[in-house]
Structure 1
Amino acid sequence: MPHLIQRRNSPSLGLLGQRKPLGVVGGMGSLATAKFLEVLARKSRVETDQDHIPFICLSAPNIPDRSQAISIGSDAPLLQILERAYWLEKAGCGAIAIPCNTAHLWAKEIKQALSVQLIDMVEITRQAIRDSRGSEAHNFRSISLGTRASMQNGLYVTPNENALGEQFFRSLTKLEREAIKIIADVKSGNITDAQENFTRLVHAARSFAPDKIILACSELSAICGDLGDDSDIVDPINILADACIDWWIAGSHTFGEVGGLDTSAFFREL
């Protein structure tokens, strides 16, 4: 037993000389984080445990509601997101992923504050949408479904949303209200109702014949089921997982001189 304690406290457990893991700022919300980690594991398509992407996920969920904070001009969630990202940096992570769409309304500030890469879910999703348009870019029409902040602040705005027509904009408030209710149900564990209402919401969105429907909240990704495989659905959680895998494959991310991690101080401050 003393030998095991000595090994546990040894700096050699700081993963010296190994590739830097992915850092995941989770807890926004917890089910959405779990969904992202599941998708990451499934998409990795490796043969052994040892071949999977190493990650450190910090899911401390007591971050203020992002959408509500943005509506009142508060940056309280940003400060707590950065606190967690800094902790992951100190732990030796080589890049940070945040599987929360609304949090990316602060993506610019987060990137400026970090010394490692933020794998920007919104940026790469926008690029994937642009790539999918091809020569039909000028006719492309999309609908975003998510939190009030993501929908009202144009998180995934496309140039020709106006092409959806006046009827769509008259119905936008209802779509937003239904999306917010579904997200609340997911967060509270009312999954059955959330999934049924989500199916109806997608059907309502499809009545406007958009080219793509963007799941602009990771709670919607968490419960989308087989609908997420439909060609007109854009799931940023899937795109983020792909980008994290590309990041891992692309480079050699090695540790510097780091020792064992002392997490106690961080959790005392939460």
Structure 2
Amino acid sequence: MKTIGIIGGMGPLATVHLYERIVLRTKALKDQDHIRVLIDSNTNIPDRTKAIIGDGEDPTVELIKSAKLLEKGGADFLIMPCNTAHYFIDKIQSSVHIPFVNMVQETVKRTVDDFGRDAVVGILATDGTIKSKIYENYYASLGIKTVVPQKSQESVMKFIYDVIKKGNYNEGTDLLFEAVEELKQLEATAFLLGCTELSSAQYLYKFEGSFINPIEVLTEKSIEFAGGQLS
């Protein structure tokens, strides 16, 4: 089987959850049935949202360092559990000679499979992801309508940075679901967890509904690309 290389650390909990999901979703009867995974949890990567909105350090230097390190270590392909960082994916891809499984692209394809082209996708994500229109552009190319929070985007950012990134899990999900309710009023029929901290939140709080979880999509695609079997 092929070896997976994970550019991680954005944040570390999302990296842990991705690796855990790969292990749990791989059909295996013994250690040797599992996929070899190399992880660089590079917490030196500068904040991606700050870079995109124009007042932060360029993260591509560290992202490329991680990509090259993983390639040198024997990774056959790369994955990256950070939606916002996919804004820089072309620069990272051009620095290595191994393929990159694009989580954003695969998530949009999965949305069509699960919810159809008539879905209205409410995007829950960082300011950087929303400003860059990473997801909106992919969805638009398939004719899928998207909506984003207007009044509650600040609540989404607080949930990501002050609850999940800081480990204040006892704060609960009120801030997140404030935005979900607004998106419902904007006629959203499915809700994209467009930040890997939000994917982690679904694993932590075990909330259900019409949510699209990119980490879960990336997990399945990575196992398939590596030549493993899904459980």
Q: Give the TM-score taking structure 1 as reference length.
A: 0.75
Structure 1 residue corresponding to 2:150, chosen from 153, 158, 173: 173
Residues matched between the structures, number = 220
**CA 220–90 in structure 1, closer or farther in 2 if over 3 Å, else same:** same
The separation in 2 between residues aligned to 1:199 and 1:153, in whole angstroms, is 23
Offset at residue 102 of structure 1 (A):
0.3
**Match for residue 76 of structure 1?**
58
Contact 1:20 1:92 in 2 (8 A): no
Are residue 183 (structure 1) and residue 160 (structure 2) matched?
yes
**CA 52–195 in structure 1, closer or farther in 2 if over 3 Å, else same:** farther
Offset at residue 114 of structure 1 (A):
1.8
> Which protein has the bigger helix share?
1
Give the secondary structure class of the aligned counterpart of 1:188.
coil
Structure 1 residue corresponding to 2:123, chosen from 124, 140, 144: 144
Structure 2 residue corresponding to 1:161, chosen from 145, 154, 179: 145
Structure 1 residue corresponding to 2:24, chosen from 34, 42, 49: 42
Q: Give the TM-score taking structure 2 as reference length.
A: 0.87
Structure 1 residue corresponding to 2:45, chosen from 60, 63, 66: 63
Any idea what the Cα deviations from partners look like across 1:89-109, whole Å, max 9, x if unmatched?
Answer: 000110111000000011222
Offset at residue 210 of structure 1 (A):
1.3
Give the secondary structure class of the aligned counterpart of 1:113.
coil
**CA 128–199 in structure 1, closer or farther in 2 if over 3 Å, else same:** same
Q: Provide runs of 4+ in structure 1 moved above 4 Å.
A: none
Structure 1, gaps ≥5 residues long: 1-18, 251-270
Alignment of 1:58-137 (within 5 A): 58-72=40-54, 76-134=58-116, 137=117
Aligned residue type for 1:183 = I
The separation in 2 between residues aligned to 1:194 and 1:115, in whole angstroms, is 42
Contact 1:21 1:94 in 2 (8 A): yes
Q: Which has the larger radius of gyration?
A: 1
The separation in 2 between residues aligned to 1:175 and 1:47, in whole angstroms, is 46
Structure 2, gaps ≥5 residues long: none
Q: Give the aligned CA root-mean-square deviation in angstroms.
A: 2.1
Identity %: 28
